[in-house]
Amino acid sequence: MFTGIIQAVGQIKEIHSMKEHGNEGLSLSISAGKLDLTDVLPGDSIAVNGVCLTVTTLTEDLFTVDVSQETLNCTYGLDQVAMCVNLEKAMRLSDRLGGHLVSGHVDAIGTVVKFESIGESFELIVRVPESIVRYLAHKGSITVNGVSLTVNRIEDSEFSVNLIPHTLAMTTLSTLTPGMRVNLETDMLARYVAKLLNIQG
C-alpha cells in the first residue's frame, strides 16, 4: 500500500527480457535517485510510476524488478530505457497518510490533453477511458503516474487537476506534454462503493 506522495525520481537504466528464463515480461534495473534503499530488502514493494513492483535485487543506489507481460499490457512507460519514473516505498502502518490510500494497481492509461501554467501553478487535463469515468468525483482523489492529486473538474471523459510548484519539482509531472500517456489509479474507496451499489442493484 502507498500514499501517492513521491519520495524520489529515478530512471530505468536497463531492460532485459525474461524469455530466456521461460517467463514472459521484462526485468528492469532502476536507479533509485535520492530514494533511501538502506531499509529495503528483496521482496519489498516499490511503486514505479504508480505501479507496485517487487524488488528482486538491489545495491546502494540501484534496484531490479520483474514486470509481467500482463502488467506491461495495462501500464505505460515501463518498457522504455532512460524513462524517468516516480518512486515511492510501501508505507508503514505508522506513516502519515499525506495523500490517499493507493494500491499500486493501475486502472487505466490516460492521455494528456492540456498542461499549461495558470499563475504560479499548472493545470493538467487528462482524457480517460469510459470504463473509469464513474470512479471520478469532484474533489476526489486520483493517482497520475503514482502522484496523489485532487480532481478539480470533470467534463465528459476528461478531468483536470491543479499542480503546485512543489509537486512539479518533486515528480516527473513537469515533463508532461499533450499527447503523452499516463498511468491512472482511481480512488479505491470509489471502486468499492461502485461494487457495492452494483451488488445491491
In a domain, 1, yes or no: no
Q: Per residue in 12-49, pLDDT tens?
A: 999 999 886 667 899 999 999 999 999 999 999 999 99
Q: Are residues 12 and 78 located together in one domain of the fold? A: yes
CATH of the domain at 77: 2.40.30.20
Q: Are residues 27 and 73 located together in one domain of the fold? A: yes
Q: Which residue has the cell 493538467?
A: 124
Q: Are residues 16 and 52 located together in one domain of the fold? A: yes
Which residues on neighbouring strands pair with residue 51, listed in sequence order?
48
Q: Note the pLDDT of residue 22.
A: 67
Q: Are residues 15 and 56 located together in one domain of the fold? A: yes
In a domain, 182, yes or no: yes
Average pLDDT estimate for 68-81: 96
| Counted domains in the chain | 2
Locate 83 and state its grid cell.
524513462
Q: Is the predicted pLDDT of residue 4 greater than 60, yes or no?
A: yes
Instruction: Give the closest residue to 127 by CA, choosing from 63, 192, 184, 82.
Output: 184
Kindly give, in sequence order, each residue whose CB lies less than 8 Å from that of residue 110, ignoring residues fewer than 6 positions away: 126, 127, 128, 129, 144, 181, 182, 183, 184
Locate 170 and state its grid cell.
518533486
Q: Per residue in 115-145, pLDDT tens?
A: 999 988 999 999 999 999 999 999 999 999 9
Instruction: Give the closest residue to 11 by CA, choosing from 55, 61, 52.
Output: 61
Locate 113 and state its grid cell.
490533453
Strand segments (E) across the chain: 8-17, 26-31, 45-48, 51-58, 62-67, 84-89, 108-118, 121-127, 141-144, 147-155, 158-163, 181-186
Q: What is the pTM of this model?
A: 0.92
What length is written for the chain? 201
In whole angstroms, what is the distance from residue 78 CA to residue 18 CA? 14
Q: Are residues 83 and 114 located together in one domain of the fold? A: no
Tell me the backbone φ, ψ of residue 48, rounded to 5 degrees.
Answer: -115, 105
Contact 183, 103 (CB under 8 A): no
* CB neighbour class for 147 (10 Å; exposed up to 12, middle 13-18, buried from 19): buried
pLDDT-derived band at 201, boundaries 50, 70, 90: very low
